[in-house]
Amino acid sequence: MIIDKFENLRFYTHLLNNLEEGLDAIQAQMTHLEPGRYDFEGGYFMVQSGETKPMDEGYFEAHKRYVDVQIVVKGSEEIAWGECSDLQEIIPYDEAKDALFLTGALNQQMCIEQGMCYVAFPHDGHRPVRHTKQKQTFTKIVLKLPVTK
């Protein structure tokens, strides 16, 4: 997993297939960012808004076909991270949803504030949109970039 400021995200273009195209597509929509899905050549992104859920609710998620680049543009959220090999599968991989759900210890947690982003690779179990103390509101962009093999 990578956690950084959004302004540094272009440093990772050599690691992330179609990152440049995704950032260009986001930039083209910046004045009209409404919740929903936006496709571009080489991937897609979703704009999501809402309130966080308690950290101890739900599961870790992981994806096989897409790398998640999650960018908090307003508000904040807390996340938990765990290496998939250290977690236990609870809901098998669903190819249509590109999602696998896991359970395990919540040892690694971090607050992702406005202007920050994180990148979750296929081996990164992540529990996004959470809070440990107080409910938070957020608007974020989830950029889905195809995994290169």
- Whether the per-residue pLDDT at 120 is higher than 70: the answer is yes
Domains of the chain from N-terminus onward:
2-146 (2.60.120.370)
The mean per-residue pLDDT over the stretch 12-37 comes to 90
- The whole-number pLDDT of residue 47 equals 96
Query: What does the mean pLDDT of the chain come to?
Result: 95
In contact, 19 and 145? CB cutoff 8 Å: yes
In contact, 116 and 4? CB cutoff 8 Å: yes
- The whole-number pLDDT of residue 149 equals 62
pLDDT 10s digits, 53-92:
999 999 999 999 999 999 999 999 999 999 999 999 999 9
Its sign, for the CA torsion 105, 107, 112, 118, is negative
Give the C-alpha separation, 25 to 43, whole Å. 10
- The whole-number pLDDT of residue 31 equals 76
- The whole-number pLDDT of residue 33 equals 78
Which of the residue ranges 1-15, 23-37, 102-116 would you say has the lowest mean pLDDT? 23-37
The mean per-residue pLDDT over the stretch 112-140 comes to 97
Give the C-alpha separation, 52 to 131, whole Å. 6
Its sign, for the CA torsion 59, 63, 66, 69, is positive
pTM for this model (two decimals): 0.93
